Amino acid sequence: MRRAVALARRGPARGVNPQVGCVLLRPDGSTAAEGWHRGAGTPHAEVDALSHLAPGDARGLTAVVSLEPCDHVGRTGPCSVALIEAGVARVVHAVGDPGASSGGGAERLRRAGVDVIGGVLADEAEEMARRWLATARTGRPFVTVKWASSLDGRAAAADGSSRWITGPAARRHVHEQRAAHDAILVGTGTVLADDPGLTARHDTGELMAEQPLPVVVGTRAVPADAALRRHPRGLVETGTRDLEAVLDDLGRRGVRSLFVEGGPTVASAFVRRGLVDDYLVYLAPTLLGGPRTALDDLGVDHIHEQRRLRVTDARTLGDDLVVVARDTSRRHA
């Protein structure tokens, strides 16, 4: 199963489909074939693995899959049916598929007489597929809120200037994170104040191959001459401050991961509403003082109401520190 999870990581992290890996084992435990999903419209991991075998050679084998085989017809056929028709005798999967349309493969396999075992290394597979599973369970994108601040928690100097608190390595990492998400969100206040482009760029200024869909939350219109109007992915203007409605709409649009890069007002709104899955915080070894804090009021009136997080990663980027934390109270966290 660890090999299946490792194979799954080879697939694209972005997009509507999950990363899935599959290992086909012979009765003696040796590997007959391997496969993984390479993106929407391509064979799923199980079918990819089966494609490396001659007709009939899969009969009696065990399929070890990081996610329960799907049971629906999309751009490809059901993996459950493919395994049954190939004569696979046993299917071992790590995580059940929570999708309303794609789930149910395990039950179909059992009805066909296939031995099915679930939950093997579920924690490791859940972590690998965490973003996709969150969306499959809620219908909303996985939300990462990012900010950069001084060690004393300030996002800008007293006059509002903030370029640059962090150094080149941290800023480069931000662009990599933009490229790793399906969409990027800011508020209209940020658009009007900073006129951001919200593209993912290399150090040379050249656009990266993957670009996030820009989303603006708020009721004010984006100016006709704004840089966002020239974004290669187009622009989504929500026309509302209702974050739950925004997330529902983005989920319907196929957005699976959202990078929130707005200022303190937008970031705090996501935090207050309990909509954040991951926090990505860049800390610069500098002190600014003053009122420009990275977050506004979160509704924490008593110390017992503080929002406890779990740090999952912390490392240096040049002179800066990047910290990744998650809210473990989230159902899918």
Map out the domains of the chain as residue ranges.
Answer: 2-128, 138-326
> In terms of DSSP bridges, do strands 31-36 and 213-217 run parallel, antiparallel, or are they unpaired?
unpaired
- Residues known to be catalytic: 46
Residue 333 has pLDDT above 50, yes or no: no
Fold category of 138-326 in CATH: Dihydrofolate Reductase, subunit A (3.40.430)
CATH 3.30.70.1290 fits 2-128, yes or no: no
Residue 22 has pLDDT above 90, yes or no: yes
Q: What is the pTM of this model?
A: 0.86
DSSP string computed for 138-186: HSS-EEEEEEEEETTSBSS-TTS--TTSS-HHHHHHHHHHHHTSSEEEE
Coil, helix or strand for 49?
helix
pLDDT in tens, 217-258: 999 999 999 999 999 999 999 999 999 999 999 999 989 999
What is the spatial distance between Cα 134 and Cα 258, in angstroms, rounded to a whole number? Answer: 12
Residue 279 has pLDDT above 80, yes or no: yes
Over residues 91-99, the mean pLDDT reads: 92
